[in-house]
């Protein structure tokens, strides 16, 4: 319980300690169950200073109440002190509980705050505040009616959890402003992804593909990045015309190219076919350029992530899909992945099944009933299908859904992860997120609703969470194929909501540039790369022969990620004994290597002193 809830601030001081002690303490900090928001070091430091937690740079107290009861669903009501800062809500019980009950939640995680009970409410703990979080938990605090403590708490929570609804700014800006000078380029997470360098890594530009900065001012497509890789045959003027035929001008642009076969993954939005079945000669020609850029295949696979019924229905709204009559040598596949609303509803059911209590006798059917795993399976199956096309058939694929920023991002990112071992390294994965999700305009602001109090906004959806879940599923099937561990994924999810870093703020690259996030906020990758050790997977086998992963997309393997969705429940034990054992053995191995090395050094220097001839002969 306390492990799960004893969360505190990870802050610069704690981080420094963490880094310093990483070699010895990483075993504890990598406890996949604990939230990444805090680390044990922080608790210790806090305790030593006799303050409840360590303040982040730019974090300031907003409210403090000493007579609040946290109605803990697992350990019962706990009486204690509640602190609200501009970054977090912090509660620590004052008596009755050993270890104390601690709740530490970044305000960004809060989706909704509600008052419960009125002046006339009777019964214990029936008057107070209920907080609904984006990270699968609800918190309930009871106040005493007579001393009116609830009102200020409620107001402070409202204004600091939802600054955008109350003309404030997200904490990330205050944090960065108080953090001092930005880190050196080597440590700066904002420099992790360099579009041109990443394309160069893939061998672009080459004979068939060129790089264009046509979108320099985001004038062609406001949700695309500046740098595009496109078929050489397509001129800039031509690209402008093609963009007109694609929803929100998101024309097909290169995501990944196979190093040997030159088969590519390109992404876009749906074509604007409409009810009348409009055609665009430019778009048709453009797709044929993409196909021709890969000499290995005389076909082009169009992967439409949607169920075919939805694709047809989209025609009524002016969208649609590529007809095989209009586009020569094209085969279209529908992947049956449902839209953001279905996914949101599904996750809501997962929360119902996991929090706060689990009905053990109905656990399996409850999980089945959420359909969450089925959706995950669908996405995995889609990615495997793309891998099959690209790797086995050497066919280029064009991936789209409706707007090409939700399901498309899931599919391209996941299939790239399966195809290219680079993206399975920690830094590679950061690049993958920066590239496929952030630069290509997945609308993080809308989907997460940072600092916005419209909790029932229909644009919110756990699309990115679903992608991280898929990555976790793959890592379960290939436990040594990833350089990073589960804790890394959970950290990303935690800071997806926390608003402490600039990484996931705003919807598009254009907005981020306009807001100058690179200078006004800190990148999540700066933070993570600063204490790499705890995010590394000890099982990773860097020499793994396997470059292409083909996970099995069957419900027999897709599992509920208990380490994420059930982590607030203290009775769910993390299963990381093997992980610890591996770390122990790795440490032993390193120590032995050092000893052998030292010994050999000594022996050889002695030998050199004695006879110089013996060294030349091979040792036996």
Partner 1 sequence: MASISDRKRNTFLSYVAPSPGDIPRQEGSDDWLPTELRDLHLAKPRLLPNELVVASAPAYLFSAILPAPTEGSELDMSRQAIFGLLSVTNFKMAFVPLQRHKQETPPQESYQEHLYLQRNDVTLNNIDYVYQLAEGGRVSVSALSGGNRRKKLDAQQKVMSSRITALHIICKNFRLLKFAFQNSRSGPDYGKLIASALARFAYPSRHDLSFAYCYREPYYSMLGKSSVTMYSTKNDWARELIRCGSNEWQVVSADSVPQLQNVLQAPKYTLPPHFVIPKCCTVERFLDLSRAFYDSRAAFWVYGYGNASLVRLAELKPAMQQDTKVENVTLELVRKCDPRHALKLLQLTDRLPSIQDVQRAYLKFRRLCTPESPQEFLVQDSKFLSNVEKSNWLFYVSLCLRYSCEAAESLRSGTTCVLQETNGRDLCCIISSLTQIILDPLFRTIDGFQSLVQKEWVSLEHPFQTRLGHVRGDAAEEDESPVFLLFLDSVWQLLQQFPDEFEYSQTYLTTLWDSCFLPIFDTFQFDTEADRARAVNFGNLVLRPVWDWGEQFAEKDKVFFTNPFYQRQRQEQQNRRSVAIPAGAVMLPGLAQISSIKQGQQQRFTTINPQLFVTSSTIPKDRFLEPQHRMVDLAIWEQCYYRWMPILEIKHGGFPQIDLNHRLLLSNIAKLQRCLELQDFEDLPDIYYERTCEKRPLIDNTTRRRNSIEMIDGVERRRKSSLPATLNGFNSSKLLPEISSFFPFSINTGESEQLIDILTNSNEFLLEGSFMERLSIA
Burial class (CB in 10 A: 0-12, 13-18, 19+), 343: buried
For residue 206, give the nearest of 284, 258, 267 by alpha carbon: 258
Find all residues with CB under 8 Å of 170, minimum gap 6, and list them.
108, 163, 164, 450, 451, 499, 505
C-alpha to C-alpha distance for 478 and 213, rounded to whole angstroms: 38
CB of 560 to partner 1, least distance (A): 9
326 is in an annotated binding site: no
Q: Whose Cβ is closer to partner 1: residue 339's or residue 477's?
A: 477
For residue 472, give the nearest of 385, 379, 389, 402 by alpha carbon: 379
93 is in an annotated binding site: no
CB of 440 to partner 1, least distance (A): 24
87: part of which helix (H) or strand (E)? none
CB of 469 to partner 1, least distance (A): 16
Name the residue with tokens 């005389």: 298
559 is in an annotated binding site: no
CB of 420 to partner 1, least distance (A): 16
86 is in an annotated binding site: no
What does the DSSP 8-state code read for residue 314? G
533 is in an annotated binding site: no
Q: Whose Cβ is closer to partner 1: residue 242's or residue 411's?
A: 411
Q: Whose Cβ is closer to partner 1: residue 316's or residue 586's?
A: 586
Q: Which of 401, 470, 499, 566 is catalytic?
A: 401
CB of 6 to partner 1, least distance (A): 17
Q: Whose Cβ is closer to partner 1: residue 340's or residue 558's?
A: 558
CB of 615 to partner 1, least distance (A): 11
Helix axes 236-244, 281-292, angle to 10 degrees: 120
302 is in an annotated binding site: no
317 is in an annotated binding site: yes
CA 541, distance to chain mean position in Å, is 23
Structural contact between residues 426 and 484, judged by C-beta atoms closer than 8 angstroms: yes
For residue 247, give the nearest of 399, 400, 379, 411 by alpha carbon: 400
CA distances (Å), origin 67, targets 91, 97, 128: 11, 15, 12
Q: Whose Cβ is closer to partner 1: residue 64's or residue 358's?
A: 358
329 is in an annotated binding site: no
Q: Whose Cβ is closer to partner 1: residue 219's or residue 546's?
A: 546
340 is in an annotated binding site: yes
Decide: helix, strand or coil at residue 484.
strand
- Annotation says 72 is catalytic: no
Structural contact between residues 612 and 567, judged by C-beta atoms closer than 8 angstroms: no
111: part of which helix (H) or strand (E)? strand 110-116
Find all residues with CB under 8 Å of 86, minimum gap 6, and list them.
58, 59, 60, 62, 107, 160, 171, 174
CB of 502 to partner 1, least distance (A): 34
DSSP string computed for 364-428: HHHHHHH-HHHHHHHHHHHHHHHHIIIIIS--EEEEE-SSSSSHHHHHHHHHHHHH-GGGGSHHH
Q: Whose Cβ is closer to partner 1: residue 284's or residue 336's?
A: 336
Annotated binding site: 314-317, 339-340, 401-407
What residues are labeled active site? Answer: 401
Annotated binding site for substrate: 314-317, 339-340, 401-407
């Amino acid at each position: 319980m306390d492990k799960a809830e004893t969360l505190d601030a990870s802050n610069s001081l704690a981080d420094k300690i963490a880094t310093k002690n990483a070699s010895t303490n990483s075993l504890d900090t990598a406890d996949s169950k604990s939230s990444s928001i805090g680390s044990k070091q922080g608790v210790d430091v806090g305790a030593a200073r006799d303050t409840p937690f360590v303040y982040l740079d730019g974090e300031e107290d907003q409210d403090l109440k000493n007579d609040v009861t946290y109605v803990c669903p697992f350990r019962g009501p706990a009486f204690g002190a509640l602190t609200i800062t501009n970054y977090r809500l912090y509660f620590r019980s004052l008596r009755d509980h050993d270890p104390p009950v601690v709740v530490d939640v970044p305000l960004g995680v809060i989706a909704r705050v509600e008052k419960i009970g009125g002046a006339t409410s009777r019964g214990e703990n029936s008057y107070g505040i209920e907080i609904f979080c984006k990270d699968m938990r609800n918190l309930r605090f009871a106040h005493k009616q007579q001393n009116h403590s609830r009102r200020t708490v409620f107001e402070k929570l409202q204004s600091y959890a939802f600054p955008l609804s109350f003309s404030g700014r997200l904490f990330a800006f205050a944090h960065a402003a108080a953090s001092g000078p930005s880190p050196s380029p080597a440590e700066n997470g904002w420099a992790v992804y360099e579009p041109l360098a990443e394309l160069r890594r893939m061998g672009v530009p080459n004979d068939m593909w060129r790089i264009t900065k046509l979108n320099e001012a985001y004038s062609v497509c406001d949700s695309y990045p500046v740098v595009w890789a496109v078929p050489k045959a397509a001129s800039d003027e031509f690209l402008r015309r093609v963009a007109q035929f694609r929803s929100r001008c998101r024309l097909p642009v290169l995501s990944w190219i196979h190093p040997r076969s030159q088969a590519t993954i390109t992404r876009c939005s749906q074509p604007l076919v409409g009810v009348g079945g409009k055609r665009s000669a430019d778009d048709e020609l453009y797709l044929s350029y993409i196909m021709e850029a890969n000499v290995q295949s005389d076909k082009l696979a169009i992967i439409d992530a949607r169920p075919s019924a939805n694709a047809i229905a989209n025609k009524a709204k002016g969208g649609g899909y590529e007809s095989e009559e209009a586009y020569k040598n094209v085969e279209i596949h529908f992947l049956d992945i449902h839209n953001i609303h279905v996914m949101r509803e599904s996750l809501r059911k997962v929360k119902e099944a996991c929090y706060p209590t689990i009905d053990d006798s109905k656990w399996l059917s409850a999980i089945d009933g959420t359909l969450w795993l089925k959706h995950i399976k669908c996405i995995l199956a889609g990615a495997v299908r793309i891998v099959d096309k690209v790797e086995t058939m050497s066919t280029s694929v064009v991936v789209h859904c409706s707007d090409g920023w939700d399901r498309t991002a899931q599919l391209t990112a996941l299939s790239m992860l399966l195809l290219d071992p680079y993206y399975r390294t920690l830094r590679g994965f950061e690049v993958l997120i920066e590239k496929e999700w952030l630069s290509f305009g997945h609308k993080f602001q809308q989907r997460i609703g940072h600092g916005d109090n419209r909790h029932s906004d229909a644009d919110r959806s756990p699309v990115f969470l679903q992608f991280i879940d898929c990555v976790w599923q793959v890592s379960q099937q290939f436990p040594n194929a990833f350089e990073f561990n589960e804790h890394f994924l959970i950290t990303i999810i935690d800071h997806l909501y926390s608003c402490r870093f600039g990484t996931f703020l705003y919807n598009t690259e254009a907005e981020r540039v306009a807001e100058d996030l690179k200078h006004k906020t800190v990148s999540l990758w700066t933070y993570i790369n600063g204490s790499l050790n705890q995010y590394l997977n000890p099982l990773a086998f860097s020499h793994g022969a396997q470059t292409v992963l083909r996970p099995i997309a069957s419900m027999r393997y897709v599992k509920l990620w208990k380490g994420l969705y059930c982590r607030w429940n203290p009775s769910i034990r993390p299963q990381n004994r093997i992980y610890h054992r591996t770390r122990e053995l790795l440490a032993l191995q390193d120590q032995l290597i050092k000893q052998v090395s030292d010994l050999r050094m000594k022996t050889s220097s002695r030998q050199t002193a004695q006879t110089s001839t013996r060294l030349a002969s091979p040792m036996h």
